[in-house]
Amino acid sequence: MNKAKTMVALDCGNSSFRIVTGQYSEGRIQSEVINQIPNSMVKIGKYYYWNLLHIFNEFKASLKEIVSKKERIDSIGICTWGVDFAFFDKEGHMLSNPLSYRNVIGENQLSKLNGEDEKQMFYETGILCDKINSLYMMAGMKELFPHILSAADKCLMVPDILNYFLTGEMVNEPSELSTTQLMSAKDRQISPTVCEKFGINQNIFCKIGKHGEKIGNVRKDILEEIGADYDIPVICVPSHDTASAVAAIPAEEENFGFISCGTWSLIGTELKEPICNEEVRKANLTNEVGAFGRITLLKNSAGMFIVNQLKKEYDFICKEKTSWNTISDLAEQCNSTAVIDLNDIAFFNPASMSKAIWNYLTESGQVSGEMRWDVLFRTFYDSLARVYAETIRDIEKVTGNNFEKVYIVGGGAASRILLSLSAHYMNKTIVVCYGESTSMGNLSVQLKYFDKELTLPDIRRIIAESYETKTYT
């Protein structure tokens, strides 16, 4: 591929979304964050929703800004968090804003399954039963919002919705679709068995897209709105942010471990085919679909959401916005050895994260007296690093592979205390990847549209040439 290209990535997370441009030339991609805009759930009555119209509106404004600088946009790709979705009627109208997975709807539905049900679901889909999986939200909506389900004709995941708003084309992207637990990781298709078991119409899903292929062109009215007088293709990229981030890992070796540390922590490895056995299931590992049909065998664990909530409370008490360096200093100077189960339901979405953690530590006899912020922060980082080390050992055991290096991507890769504790507990070299790995994976997969011969190893070589990594031992 000789011609230079300018790609645009929307990388949308739970706490913010970034619009990033990627300039490809001479075998390298140079990226630039154009805008970073806060994102958060909106509580209406008893339920949390995502304001998808706000996200889409801000994305269009950023596209207009890029075009106004006389930059030609050659392609667009969109990735977001997983599991959340919305239904559309026969006329293509969205029936409600997507509900957030942090509602308790899914948890209530999952509690109805027994151990044998959960085991069968894992063997059918390769995906562990989890309260955040889309399947349980859909089952709950059948009871709580029957008027929506009765009018529903199609289901789109969050990045699919944004692609649809841009192009008018309804396509389900495979990595995002796998987070529903309605898709079989073995054949990468919607499972009729699961649909039948939960009374979900299999025809509600759309054509499954292929990475590197065009979903459609940006609608004419939007082209006029952003000031572009040429067609802009929207490309099917690994829309689940974890899948895009893993695609951007510049590993030359075939077997490697990775940690994607964002709102959630995804600890895993990449495989050609899923592993569905009792050893994997009992280790709480799951087989998600990644880039170009690869499988990411991983554990989905709590991540930076917990420390982000702690920091918000700490900032309020300090009456100023503290830096992450200050938070690291507090944790590093503390000699506490307290640990918590980060995945305990008490830390899923409490009214006060600091009180939830301190109560847990008090009840478990690890602390006493008045709450200390240095202990809270140290406990979080130490607990997370221990989860990383334990999970990497489990993955090495079930795969039979020993990882010389573990690659880390996501916002948590900027935390020096997390990196040093993780390297210590794992006793491995940690390779710190590009800070915007999700957007880099998104941008680089778009190149496949322009060069059909491009492979995933080719893409990783381009990324390796595009920036330097750092290592912790």
Q: Identify whether 48 is part of a domain.
A: yes
Token pair listed for 301: 């664990």
Closest CA to 432 of 248, 300, 304: 248
* Measured distance CA(391)–CA(404) in Å, rounded: 15
pLDDT tens for residues 102-138? 999 999 999 999 999 999 999 999 999 999 999 999 9
Tens of pLDDT, residue by residue over 295-345, are 999 999 999 999 999 999 999 999 999 999 999 999 999 999 999 999 999
Cα-Cα end-to-end distance for the chain: 37
Q: Which two three-digit tokens encode residue 102?
A: 């942090």
Residue 283 lies in a domain: yes
Domain match, 176 and 45 both: yes
Residue 277 domain-assigned (yes or no):
yes
Cα–Cα distance between 106 and 217 in angstroms, integer?
35
- 462 belongs to a structural domain: no
Q: Are 123 and 157 in the same domain?
A: yes
Q: Are residues 184 and 262 in the same domain?
A: no
Same-domain check for residues 170 and 83: yes
Q: Are residues 159 and 305 in the same domain?
A: no
pLDDT at 1: 67
> What domain range is 338 assigned to?
251-432
Give the tens place of pLDDT for each residue, 382-415. Answer: 999 999 999 999 999 999 999 999 999 988 888 9
Burial profile 57-78: b = 16 or more Cβ within 10 angstroms, e = fewer: ebbbebbeebbeeeeebbbbbb
331 and 410 co-located in one domain: yes
The residues near 251 (Cβ < 8 Å, ≥ 6 apart) are: 405, 407, 460
Tell me the Cα Rg of the chain: 22
Q: Are residue 263 and residue 391 in the same domain, yes or no?
A: yes
Where does the pLDDT of residue 256 fall: very low under 50, low under 70, confident under 90, or very high at 90 and above? very high
DSSP annotation of 191: -
The DSSP H or E segment spanning 244 is helix 241-247
CA dihedral defined by 142, 80, 43, 58, rounded to 10 degrees? -130
Residue 312 belongs to a domain: yes
**CATH of residue 415:** 3.30.420.40
What is the identity of the amino acid at 395?
Answer: I
Q: How many CA atoms lie within 13 A of 277 on its CB side?
A: 7
Asked if residue 77 and residue 176 are part of one domain, the reply reads yes
pLDDT in tens, 413-443: 889 899 999 999 999 999 999 878 999 999 9
Q: Are residues 224 and 256 in the same domain?
A: no
- 456: in domain: no
Last residue of a domain, one of 399, 416, 432: 432
- Are 309 and 388 contained in the same domain? yes
Contact 448, 459 (CB under 8 A): yes
**pLDDT digit string (tens) for 178-216?**
999 999 988 999 999 999 999 999 999 999 999 999 999
Count: domains in the chain: 2
Q: Does 2 fall in a domain?
A: no
In the structure encoding, which two tokens stand for residue 177, read together?
């679709």
